[in-house]
Amino acid sequence: MARLTERNSWKALEAHAARPQARDIVGLFASDPRRAERYSLEAAGLILDFSKNPVSDQTVQLLLALAAESSVAEQTQAMFDGRRINVTENRPVLHIALRNQSQRPICVDGRDVMPDVRAVLHRLREFSESVRNGTLRGSTGKPFADVVNIGIGGSDLGPLTIYSALRPFAQRGPRLHFVSNVDGAHLAATVADLDPEATLFIVSSKTFTTQETMTNARSAREWLLTNLNGAESLDSVVGQHFAAASTNLDETGAFGIPPERVFGFWDWVGGRYSLWSAIGLPIALAVGFRQFDRLLAGAYAMDEHFRNAPAHVNMPLLLALIGVWHTNFLDSPTHAVLPYAQDLSWLPMHLQQLDMESNGKSIDRAGDTVEYTTGPIIWGAPGTNGQHAFFQHLHQGTQVTPCDFIVAAKSEWGMAEHHEILLANCIAQSEALLRGRTKDEVLEELQARGIKGQEAQRLAAHRSFPGNRPSSTILMERLDAHSVGALIALYEHKVFVQGAIWNINSFDQWGVELGKGLAKEVLNDLRAGHASPDHDQSTAALIKRICAMRGKQ
Ligand code: F6P
């Protein structure tokens, strides 16, 4: 296969992007009264309107040709077939098996993984139901009123994002808390108001060796031992107030969590793709297993769409291709995720890990340095708050930032008047980004207000908007478990397609290792009260200053 930048479609896209009208979205609308309809798709209960992007029929054709030339369909098939596409760790990538609702076997090395997946789901159902209905209680007989998930990265952001999204459905369940930061403030502030007798900790960690998580887990265990009335032994406390979601059964046992409280998963589930596995236990505890099942069903519906829909109407594929168009041909370095839903406030952070840990790579699958841009910086915040913070930059900054607006037509909280205002703002912002405002329009308005001449000219430049700023809108009727499942799966497949085109391994994360290793060395230095000679000057000086401040020198 020719190198990416040597492919015909890539070269044609470069030429296509060099046209003077390449960014003229307003012009595309003017020439096509059916554009909004023709550039919208529906799948798994989600509507994607991508008409406010600078893509014409020809652009889409060229992007689809790029996908074909990059064997995206074949790579997709390889993932669904359980082939070892995570080439640096020699693992299959099968988060899709976790939500497979069909009888289709999914095999790794000829062995169907579905019976194991279903067995863990069954145990998750039983455990979550017995905690929720009070059958399973703490060591002193109190039902669990609070559940604390201890995890970080995918073992935190996934369940946290979903739990926040489904808060309106969290009735009659225990309260859920998340502790991720090794900063003691996080654990201390979380447990401050909790009753140890009624608290269940879930240690969520694929590896069960992550420094932050294990430090928090040990301190939580200590807190229970110190504060639990009648705490007899470590074993009884850990046995009754802890559960774990992990692939490392040796370490969960060594921590003292009995096997019946350990919910396993497999090395073919990446951390940032793990919320569908046992890592989803806190979700099931908070909102009930039925909702968790709906979440899986929503993701499965998107998986099936992605696997089967023809390329030109395939939602994850098109979302990914538009992203490639922005990143590689229109030079947008970042991408904003703007959920108009307070309940989706963690979504930008989750997508940040999903996208940036997957596609923040500069080495291709053959081990060569790539000669093109890969994953963009993902950022964002819920609307309407972002409007009063960084939208200035989106509308008038020198960089063009493609935006995803995400919104549900109905609110789960009632408050209809609030929701109408929220919806109006969401729609108006994408309209404003597209339409802009010419200097003449501003002058006219200023004149109507009695501001004329030089003063009007001076102000008009500041008050006009370039417009033609791209966005997609993802609309759903309700923000419920099914649509949230579909939404996250949509982004997972988008990231997959982009990684497939960029020829990078989206499923490893070696870039996090160096800092982890150095942190251990620095920790030794901080404990010893001096800087070892291997550090650079700045690092050594910082260690010395800190030691001095802490009275360790
Ligand atoms: O350091 C990055 C990372 O490995 C993520 O990929 C992962 O989600 C997170 O750490 C937590 O890992 P674990 O679940 O093994 O504790």
pLDDT tens readout for residues 329-338: 999 999 999 9
Residue from 162, 210, 245, 234 nearest 485 by CA? 162
Entry field: residues in the chain: 553
388 in catalytic set:
yes
- pLDDT value at residue 234: 75
Annotated active-site residue in 6, 388, 462, 520: 388
> Annotated catalytic, 494?
no
Do the first three CATH levels of 4-83+294-418+470-510 and 107-293 match, i.e. the same topology? yes
What pLDDT was estimated at residue 240? 95
Closest to 149 in 3D by CA, of 171, 174, 129, 117: 174
Alpha-carbon Rg for the chain, nearest whole angstrom, is 26
pLDDT at 499 over 80: yes
Question: What is the 151 CA–ligand 1 centroid distance (Å)?
Answer: 8
Q: Which residue's CA lies nearest to atom 10 of ligand 1? A: 153
Ligand 1 cavity residues, CB under 6 Å: 152-155, 205-207, 210, 213, 271-272, 357, 509, 512
- For residue 172, the model assigns a pLDDT of 87
Nearest C-alpha neighbor of 274 from the set 379, 357, 176, 182: 357
pLDDT band at residue 1, thresholds of 50, 70 and 90? confident
Centre of ligand 1 from the C-alpha of residue 251, in Å: 15
Residue 117, pLDDT above cutoff 80: yes
Find the catalytic residue in 212, 251, 357, 492. Answer: 357
Which CATH number is associated with domain 107-293? 3.40.50.10490
CB under 8 A, 24+ apart: contacts of 83-90: 85/505, 85/507, 86/268, 86/270, 86/505, 86/507, 86/508, 87/365, 87/505, 88/505, 88/508, 88/510, 89/267, 89/507, 89/508
Task: Please give the DSSP secondary-structure letter assigned to residue 3.
Answer: -
Looking at the predicted structure, is the pLDDT value of residue 230 above 80? no
pLDDT at 233 over 80: no
pLDDT value, residue 128:
98
Residues 6+ apart with CB under 8 A from 427: 473
Q: What is d(CA 515, CA 310) in angstroms, rounded to the nearest whole number?
A: 43
Residue 516 appears among annotated catalytic residues: yes
Q: What pLDDT band is residue 229 in, cutting at 50, 70 and 90?
A: confident
**Position 388 pLDDT exceeds 90:** yes
Q: Is the pLDDT of residue 373 over 80?
A: yes
pLDDT in tens, 135-169: 999 999 999 999 999 999 999 999 999 999 999 99
**Model confidence pTM above 0.95:** yes
Per-residue confidence (pLDDT) for residue 236, from 0 to 100: 79
Please report, for residues 309, 408, 530, the alpha-carbon distance to residue 174 in angstroms, rounded to integers and kept in the order given.
40, 27, 46
Q: What is the pLDDT of residue 552?
A: 81
The pLDDT of residue 81 is above 90: yes
Domain borders along the chain are 4-83+294-418+470-510, 107-293, 511-549
Model confidence band, residue 103 (pLDDT cutoffs 50, 70, 90) = very high
* Average confidence score pLDDT of the chain: 97
> Would you say 63 and 325 are in contact if contact means Cβ atoms under 8 Å apart?
yes
CATH of 4-83+294-418+470-510, one of 3.40.50.10490, 3.40.50.410, 3.40.430.10, 3.40.190.10: 3.40.50.10490
Where does the pLDDT of residue 235 fall: very low under 50, low under 70, confident under 90, or very high at 90 and above? confident
Nearest-CA residue for atom 4 of ligand 1 = 271
pLDDT of residue 355: 98
Quick one: pLDDT at residue 29?
A: 98
